[in-house]
Structure 1
């Protein structure tokens, strides 16, 4: 049987977080397997990922397999007590497959096949591809499942990159709609196809998505594409489970946010979540965050800078299954493009590892061990550079690997703490990609990342206010509003554009039963088909919000607000309070007639509504107000601005604190409770000053008053005994 969760993985005989890298002996410019594995063992590496990118090595020709080349890698790893995760190679197909089976090529647009030369360029729904994929998967798994080094399997890699427009995929979509809507009249009505004369009288008249302008169509298409990805990865997982030996897990490496990916749905088909977590380094890890610029240590595809962005990705990863997760890829040095070279400052590698562990990571693997000497990712820096000599990165990771080994079982099954939950709606994200409410920058182009921008702004505000957040999907809320309010005293709901009546009613009951609901603009606006509700907004939630609006406006420039620090940006609902109390007002000649934020008591709880997108300062101040209104005082909150404190619960109930200094300056924090330093064993009393160097992190275990008193008595007894011995000597 496979393992049930990442907690099972870390609760193995190792009793520690797995630490390692993707390793490709087949990519090395010369034979160095023994040297590489020796260096890994010396660095405290306990896991490697292998084999996922080389189908043409596994099967050089159609039906001719070469399976033995990986054996020495597994043998050498096992000899050093390094575990192995093997990847199935289905995401990058060999040239012979494209040449012999051109019908399996993926189409980005109808009739436009993706040219060969990259990856993820196959129609994975095609029967011919499925036959070939299953054949190579079964060959690999049968060959290596019994090897004692193998602890798990990664099926495919970073699924969901492409939206498939192949004819059979489109026909499958039409068949899916026939089942979902039953008849064309229902589809016409639900999608509003009267508009622009788009009503159909027969299913064969549905047009292909490349020319679509209907929001409901686009949302249904995105749902269907994500469903295809989930089915494909689930199909692979079942093949591997059939052959895997007891105790081996099955996962895939998710690059969160891909176009055809529903992370939560896919996570249910796997044994454990595994994700990529890439983030800016150097000044891009500073806290409080610097002004966002391209020079802040990030490539174009990483939209945010600041330590909070690292925590957001980790919180999203934990939220997929609400349990510990694997980081199957994070970066050792430079990320991606040859012109983006921002390796970490001293201490930042270690900081990032402990940040991910604090938020639930049960394994951390670097992509990758050595920097490649060829290919698209030649300048994606590995643990070793092109010289293949250990350097600053290797040295710091060696220290970190030893710390993880030393921490051992304390980290097994760690549960990150959170005072606040954030509702993440993938369907709202898709709908707001199609019809963004706000512009990107000052150029006026639509911001296709609008939804994630709202989510990120609020998560950053919570982080900057010293609060910890959990990420929930609508499916994870359950139906018991009273239990939801008891578990999560604050629920943040960013831009919930697509929502059923039932979901909105659950949110209303959540507040009625004592929860503090923090809503933003665009919440409750559209139904499950992305159709705006014909109601005065915020519609079903109007009474709970205690305010309504009949119009809204974009904000071309940030507008200062009074009542909270900072500025309103991008959007302004024209909020009219009914029973709500204004919390902040725009300072503007036109929109200044309306409040920017209102709050309203509702039943035993409260609803706070922000009709704008706050900037970082306003989001932080709003989060602080919510905390002061709803949450108990946090004794750890009085730290310097550059210091963050996050908490987690060990499996045995002990409370851990991860204290980080995200700056060049030495910092200190006064301890509110007695603690023990997990790594040094040093006991510190409440009121002691905890010293942190630049880009430093301390991992602490809280001690009870009784434990602290016992430690003091023991220390006093030792001192007395030493004094008596010294007296006798004299």
Structure 2
């Protein structure tokens, strides 16, 4: 028993030594899911926005996981700067009821330099005290997203569930809450409502602003819509390097000009992945390409 334990400890020690090269590396993500303390606090008391924020967060994190898109969590605060946001190509910030004029100016600067930002319903209509602005929804965001809210309604239990038609093709349900959007400048209508008395009205819009763009969705995000937006934004760029089942998470860390790619199997069963390019196993030093089987809860680190 002692010799087996000693062998095991020596093996673990060797692996840790090999992974020492990753110490000091930084996590890499092209997309950030934004949160904010004021809105988290406000959502605890707002019977609408709080549950909506929870549902959208769940949908986005599932969609990003299933599509193998590394994501960061970013907390917006008074010290947030353009330099902080510039490292992300996309920011998702749904249902932030409290949005100040200063925050909107930061978002505008971020989008102008090439960023893309996504908002959901009930955004931007409160000040920092939780009081409603005397402005058309979505408050100070209206210019950045190019719309105001013409009409809003909650999903009724006795009515058919409204749907949105995404780019004239895919139809997905839009549960809980719906805002009919009224464009007031040049915007692209990405999705329109169907199966409701406001059929044909804008539900999801995109506005090009400087070098970037903003998206505003008058509803609560679900898995299907998040998947469509991930495809629209071309975030699943690692498909040309790997074929991965949903159970595998892909994470990337960077150090000294080199990427370290982690493939983590969260399933209790073995999973097969396809490595389309040649990499080196960061632990064994072996070259890795083609089909690879990851055991239950196993991890593969490539460089």
Superposition TM-score, scaled by structure 1 size: 0.37
- Report matched runs for 1:595-674 at 5 Å: 595-627=202-234, 635-636=240-241, 638-650=243-255, 652-663=256-267, 666-674=270-278
* Aligned-partner Cα distance in 1 for 2:131–2:109: 24
3-state SS in 1 of match to 2:148: strand
* Aligned-partner Cα distance in 1 for 2:180–2:239: 35
| 1:422 is the counterpart of 2:33 | yes
Counterpart in the other structure of 1:468: 70
Higher relative contact order (CA 8 A, sep 6+): 2
* Aligned-partner Cα distance in 2 for 1:572–1:399: 59
User: By percentage of residues, which structure has more strand?
Assistant: 2
Counterpart in the other structure of 2:112: 512
Q: Is the Cα–Cα contact under 8 Å of residues 466 and 637 in structure 1 kept in the other structure?
A: no
3-state SS in 2 of match to 1:673: strand
* Aligned-partner Cα distance in 2 for 1:614–1:43: 51
| 1:497 is the counterpart of 2:97 | yes
Query: Offset of 1:515 from its aligned partner?
Result: 1.0
Count matched residues: 293
Counterpart in the other structure of 1:412: 23
Q: Is the Cα–Cα contact under 8 Å of residues 117 and 214 in structure 2 kept in the other structure?
A: yes
3-state SS in 1 of match to 2:118: strand
Q: Which runs of 5+ in 2 are unaligned?
A: none
Counterpart in the other structure of 2:53: 451
- Report matched runs for 1:213-224 at 5 Å: none
Q: Is the Cα–Cα contact under 8 Å of residues 189 and 205 in structure 2 kept in the other structure?
A: yes
Q: Is the Cα–Cα contact under 8 Å of residues 55 and 221 in structure 2 kept in the other structure?
A: no
Query: Offset of 1:435 from its aligned partner?
Result: 1.5
In structure 2, do the counterparts of structure 1 residues 449 and 541 end up closer, same or farther at CA, with 3 Å as the change threshold? closer
- Report matched runs for 1:192-211 at 5 Å: none
Counterpart in the other structure of 1:690: 292
* Aligned-partner Cα distance in 1 for 2:180–2:138: 11
Q: Is the Cα–Cα contact under 8 Å of residues 138 and 149 in structure 2 kept in the other structure?
A: yes
- Report matched runs for 1:566-581 at 5 Å: 566-578=172-184, 579-581=186-188
Q: Is the Cα–Cα contact under 8 Å of residues 19 and 282 in structure 2 kept in the other structure?
A: no
- Report matched runs for 1:186-585 at 5 Å: 405-437=16-48, 449-475=51-77, 478-480=80-82, 483=83, 486-556=86-156, 559-563=162-166, 564=170, 566-578=172-184, 579-585=186-192
Q: Which runs of 5+ in 1 are unaligned?
A: 1-37, 45-394, 439-447, 702-730
Counterpart in the other structure of 1:586: 193
Q: Is the Cα–Cα contact under 8 Å of residues 36 and 77 in structure 2 kept in the other structure?
A: no
3-state SS in 2 of match to 1:509: helix
* Aligned-partner Cα distance in 1 for 2:300–2:262: 6
* Aligned-partner Cα distance in 2 for 1:408–1:602: 43
3-state SS in 1 of match to 2:189: strand
* Aligned-partner Cα distance in 2 for 1:615–1:43: 50
Query: Offset of 1:601 from its aligned partner?
Result: 0.9
3-state SS in 2 of match to 1:472: strand
Q: Is the Cα–Cα contact under 8 Å of residues 457 and 615 in structure 1 kept in the other structure?
A: yes
- Report matched runs for 1:49-128 at 5 Å: none
3-state SS in 2 of match to 1:671: strand
* Aligned-partner Cα distance in 2 for 1:456–1:407: 35
Query: Offset of 1:487 from its aligned partner?
Result: 1.9
Query: Offset of 1:548 from its aligned partner?
Result: 1.4
What do you get for the CA RMSD once the two structures are aligned? 3.1
In structure 2, do the counterparts of structure 1 residues 493 and 584 end up closer, same or farther at CA, with 3 Å as the change threshold? same
* Aligned-partner Cα distance in 2 for 1:641–1:424: 26
Query: Offset of 1:567 from its aligned partner?
Result: 2.4
* Aligned-partner Cα distance in 1 for 2:127–2:11: 48
Query: Offset of 1:429 from its aligned partner?
Result: 1.3
Query: Offset of 1:632 from its aligned partner?
Result: 6.1
Q: Is the Cα–Cα contact under 8 Å of residues 566 and 614 in structure 1 kept in the other structure?
A: no
Query: Offset of 1:587 from its aligned partner?
Result: 2.5
In structure 2, do the counterparts of structure 1 residues 637 and 576 end up closer, same or farther at CA, with 3 Å as the change threshold? farther
Q: Is the Cα–Cα contact under 8 Å of residues 565 and 621 in structure 1 kept in the other structure?
A: no
* Aligned-partner Cα distance in 2 for 1:620–1:477: 32
Provide, for residues 176-197 of structure 1, a one-character-per-residue CA deviation record: whole Å limited to 9, x for no partner: xxxxxxxxxxxxxxxxxxxxxx
* Aligned-partner Cα distance in 2 for 1:532–1:598: 24
Superposition TM-score, scaled by structure 2 size: 0.83
User: By percentage of residues, which structure has more helix?
Assistant: 1
